[in-house]
Amino acid sequence: MRSAYSAVTAALLFGSDVSPSTPLASNAGISCKSTGFSQPEQSHSAQGKAICVAGTVHISANASNTEILITAPGNNSAVTELYVELTQANSKLGATAVGGTHALSGTYGIYTKLCLPVDPAAAKEVTTLQILTHGGTLDHTYWDIAPDYSYVDEAVAAG
């Protein structure tokens, strides 16, 4: 049984917002719908098993954040000192470092990339959305680096 999610996912990716005359779309015989993306780009995954649409999605967010009253350490020694102070028994650093709350509100542009199998029939059967993040030193290419090192292609092949 096809879930409502799979129908929505297929409708999101396979539509007519990106011109079918673009080289990628005409080669694949399909096009990517790009509603909601700023400056959308379409591409294939490293091994070509997935077709992807990428761009910036603007998200409104509101949060109440706790202010940390510690100034940023100036060097490695200061970082070590701060860590030692924080982890000592009876340390008062935690109690003195926390300030009040700070409201944060705005619209933020988040780079996103949605990939589905190139086969439209397989794409319509997709029922799972994985939200993947990268480490602090890498970017989105972490998940689709090269033909023999692509999580995107492996996930598509696994269904």
The rounded percent of the chain whose pLDDT value lies above 70 is 77
- What is the sign of the dihedral through the CA atoms of 71, 75, 81 and 82? positive
- Asked if 12 and 69 sit in the same domain, the reply is no
- Give me the domain span that covers residue 86: 63-104
Q: Is the pLDDT of residue 34 over 80?
A: no
- Asked if 120 and 57 sit in the same domain, the reply is yes
* DSSP-based three-state secondary structure for 34: coil
The rounded percent of the chain whose pLDDT value lies above 90 is 23
Q: Is the pLDDT of residue 107 over 90?
A: yes
Tokens for 16? 């007519």
* 34/41 Cα distance (integer angstroms): 8
- Asked if 51 and 71 sit in the same domain, the reply is no
Q: Is the pLDDT of residue 26 over 90?
A: no
- Asked if 154 and 89 sit in the same domain, the reply is no
- Asked if 113 and 75 sit in the same domain, the reply is no
Tell how strand 50-68 and strand 98-117 pair up: antiparallel
So what's the pLDDT on residue 137? 67
Count structural domains, the chain. Answer: 2
- Asked if 11 and 38 sit in the same domain, the reply is yes
How big is the CA angle at 122 (ends 46 and 18), to the nearest 5 degrees?
Answer: 65
- Asked if 69 and 55 sit in the same domain, the reply is no
- Asked if 54 and 72 sit in the same domain, the reply is no
- Asked if 94 and 122 sit in the same domain, the reply is no
